[in-house]
Structure 1
Amino acid sequence: MPDTVSRLAPWWTARPALLRFIADLVAGELAALRHEPMLRPGSWSEALSLQHDLGLDSLEFLHVAGVLAGALQMHHSGIEDYLLARRTLKDWVDIAEAALQHHDRDILFATSGSTGHPKRCLHALDQLEQEAQALAALFPGRRRLLVAVPSHHIYGFLFSQLLPRHLGLAPEGVSCIRARLPSQLAHLAQPGDLVVGHPQFWAAASSLRQGFADDILGVSSTAPCPDAVSEAVTACGLAGLVQVYGSSETGGLGWRASHRDAYRLLPYLARSTDGDRRLVRSLPDGRTELLQPQDELAWSGPREFSVGARCDGAVQVGGVNVFPARVRQALLEHPDVADAAVRLMRPEEGARLKAFVVPRDGVGGAELVRRLRPWTDGRLTMPERPKAFTVGAQLPRNGMGKLADWSSNA
């Protein structure tokens, strides 16, 4: 690792940063378990009781403690079982700190995918630090970070846990704004701020067309940011919206300063010379490894590219990878559905999934939709649930017999 990295104190030695990581993880897991997507850690303090304030039952304790132990690789220390015997956030921060003193070389992140079983991706900390150092070169002189993404996912971890140290910011220079309405951003942000968001956050932040102060930069990731959103925030006075491309599996791969530009590879990456889709990463210890992007990349230069379709069939809904095939299967399991197709809405229709369903004999369209909504609510996560249903006698197809798009209706 470069000397500038080796001189930095480990990220977890800043107790407020470790507390924020654990609080975000607990809130995220509980939100998924309880189907409460709006659960936010907000101003949770170390005194918070996981049992009495959050109401964790024994099964929830077992699940959340297991996820935290896995994320921080606590099995190397052998003290992860203490999580089940301790009941406050302070206790869990203490246990995590002790475990990280023993082993902090890697960290586990979950994909945001909605396959039913998110993939766990282990990343070496020195490689994450390498990425954070490269990202810091894009944002010199930032005085505060306003963060609208959770810090226990890889994007949030890089930008709210590692990046501040490379920018020379103290923990108090990082403010979580996830519990604030995005439309308040113009009043919250100050000159010199870097705002870390995602496409839906930026769309909401620009919806009221309020002007930003000078010298406020934004960054967006987790999903492609629509050009109209990028144009809207810059029209409101945002000094720039940097878009970062990557995934939980690979980490960040490239960036662009404007939606009009091609993405550029991060400095330690290069195209494979073997003619395949992989990238070559130069590691901090001098070795190299091959990375497989999750999307098709169209190259316009040695280090410039645009992003094409997902290779695994996923689409992005609210920054989450959603698999229409899985949603279709859930619809087909309903006894009144004979066939179904699921697609992402067109931009003019919205930003969620839509479904075309063919009913079994004797089932009316309105009645079928009425039955399907609670069915999907009970089986699918919020980003997976279709928000518009169209009922017809057969799936729409084009002249070649291939599945075709349709106009959605609520």
Structure 2
Amino acid sequence: MRNAASWWNDEQALQRFICSLVASELASLRPGGLALPGFPWEAGLHLVDDLGADSLELLGIATALAESLHMHESGFEDYLLARPTIGEWVQIAQASLQHFSGKLTFRTSGSTGQPKPCCHPLPLLMQEVVELSALFSGRRRILCAVPGHHIYGFLFTILLPRALGIDASGIIDLRGSSPARLANELKEGDLVVGHPEFWRAAARLLPSVPAGVIGVTSTAPCPAEVSQAIEEAGMHKLIQVYGSSETAGIGWRDSSTSPYRLFSHWKKSAEAHHGLLRMQPDGQETSYTCQDRLQWTGPREFLPAGRMDNAVQVGGINVFPARVRDVLLQHPEVADAAVRLMRPEEGARLKAFIVARMPGIDHAELQQRLHSWVTEHLTTAERPKAFTFGEQLPKSSMEKDADWLITPSLRSTADVQ
């Protein structure tokens, strides 16, 4: 297990981490869209010459990497701007981690939709890896469809492989590939690390699965029909992990009809209904507040019962309808707007109801302008994929905000539910 703690000695693992972070930061800095080379990236890739990063973008990316690896603890962060190739950043990060590697910071979205840092001491992450290595013992390869710089991807595709003795040749990156590749790549004894939307797509393309393959999913609840379809294709089991960037993993289950079971270092707080206590390696207890309301079915078993910060999940990413609404309201032709997650039968993206500022405006033309607006100002997961127009926002008979059915873009009214 000490081998996993010195994860940064594996240059390929560290390079995957850095490449994932760079790609994510560039996508955030350029919400209008970004063409990047497919993974894996070569060590000689230059952030300025090859990826087109300008001076402000380079500063932002370097700052994000320095924050994530706590490079301020060792004083190596200033070298990043002077040597902006992937290979040089790997070397700089490795030198920094040789001096200090006790903490990592992962970023998430908070209740306002703005990213916030979540600092984790490495020994606490290793607690979870001990549990995971027992849960996934005997795995020979790991196929990953998640980025390594997020806490879920870091635990499962960087720390866990080293704990299981899986070398770099046994890590297969599926990002940017069709789930059809999964069907061709799978071998007996594999572990496949994905998220609900990945598994939804895979369920449609997996005719059969070799014996002994285990899947794992996190970032959002996995719909029961998706889990069932994967298991019917022959997956030995699909394990669902519950957690967040703030807490890391909290519990797991191997059936969508069962409650989650706490990892051994967690327990229910006696003082806060939605609170948890974590036993640290030194014996101290730390209290945490969950992002979800928890429905306890036993002393160590629970079910999530909805988020408390009004986030919704789109493609395994937390998005905030309130933030999307604020962006729509900044458009000069929008008087009011409502944003919701589509109903299951409508899709798995956001939808928007728009009240135009000018009565009688051509809704088809306005819709095109709104599509351009959200493409420029929002990330892919945040962009509404259906617009409905009306003279006022949908309300229930009690004058409360109400849902609406997606209607053709030229209709000016919507059915209120």
Taking a change above 3 Å as real, the CA distance of residues 110 and 8 of structure 1, as seen in their structure-2 partners, is closer
In 1: Cα distance, 2:25 partner to 2:202 partner: 26
Give the conservation status (yes or no) of the 8 Å contact 1:184–1:205. Answer: no
Q: 1:255 aligns with which of 232, 252, 256?
A: 252
Distance 1:8 1:151, change over 3 A: closer
Choose the corresponding residue for 2:51, options 54, 69, 80: 54
RMSD: 1.7
Give 1:104-123 correspondences, 5 Å limit: 104-111=101-108, 115=112, 117-123=114-120
Q: 1:75 to 1:128 in 2, by over 3 A?
A: same
CA distance 1:339–1:179, shift in 2 (3 Å)? closer
Summarize the Cα distance change of 1:193–1:112 in structure 2 as closer, same or farther, 3 Å threshold: farther
- Does the 8 A contact of 2:4 with 2:160 survive in 1? no
Question: Per-residue deviation at 1:171?
Answer: 2.6
CA distance in 2 between counterparts of 1:66 and 1:206 reads: 39
Tell me what 1:21 maps to. 17
Aligned to 2:28: 32
Give the direction of change, closer, same or farther, for the CA distance of 1:156–1:141 in structure 2 (3 Å limit): same
Say if 2:171 is the partner of 1:180.
no
Match in the other structure for 2:413: none
Q: Distance in 1 between matches of 2:221 and 2:367?
A: 30
2:143 matched to 1:133?
no
- Report the residue type matching 1:92 in the other structure: W
Which residue in 1 is equivalent to 2:378? Answer: 380
Contact 1:24–1:40, Cα closer than 8 Å, also in 2 = no
**2:277 counterpart of 1:264:** no
Aligned counterpart, 2:275: 278
Aligned length: 406
1:394 aligns with 2:392: yes
% of aligned pairs identical?
A: 54
Hey, what's the Cα distance between the residues in 2 that align with 1:44 and 1:17? Answer: 12
In structure 1, the residue matched to 2:329 is: 332
Per-residue deviation, 1:113: 6.1
Residue deviations 1:84-121 (CA, integer Å, cap 9, x gap): 11132121111101100111000010115695531111
- Following the alignment from structure 2 to structure 1, what is the Cα–Cα distance between the partners of residues 206 and 90? 41
Q: Which amino acid aligns with 1:315?
A: V
SS state at 1:206 partner: helix
Query: 1:42 and 1:263 mapped to 2: Cα distance?
Result: 34
1:237 alignment partner, one of 214, 234, 238: 234
Please give the alpha-carbon distance, in whole angstroms, between the structure 1 residues aligned to 2:340 and 2:195.
Answer: 22
CA contact (8 A) 1:31 1:38 kept: no
Q: Is the 8 A contact 2:113 2:319 kept in 1?
A: no
CA shift in 2, pair 1:9/1:340, >3 Å: closer
Question: Does the 8 A contact of 1:31 with 1:39 survive in 2?
Answer: no
After superposition, residues 84-233 of structure 1 pair within 5 angstroms as 84-111=81-108, 115=112, 117-233=114-230
Q: Which SS does the other structure have where 1:119 is aligned?
A: strand
Give the Cα–Cα distance (whole angstroms) in 1 for the partners of residues 167 and 310 of structure 2.
41
The two structures have a TM-score, normalised by structure 1, of: 0.95
Question: What amino acid does structure 1 have at the position aligned with 2:6?
Answer: P
Corresponding residue SS for 1:405: coil
Structure 2: 5+ residue runs without aligned partners? 410-417
Residue 37 of structure 1, CA deviation: 6.1
Amino acid in structure 2 at the alignment position of 1:27: A
Check the 8 A contact 2:183/2:206 in 1, yes or no.
no
TM-score for both structures, normalised by structure 2: 0.93
**2 CA distance for matches of 1:209 and 1:188?**
11
Q: State whether residues 328 and 334 of structure 2, in contact with CA within 8 Å, keep that contact through their aligned partners in structure 1.
A: yes
Distance change in 2, residues 1:169/1:208 (3 Å): closer
Residue aligned with 1:207, SS: helix
Deviation, 1:51, is 2.8
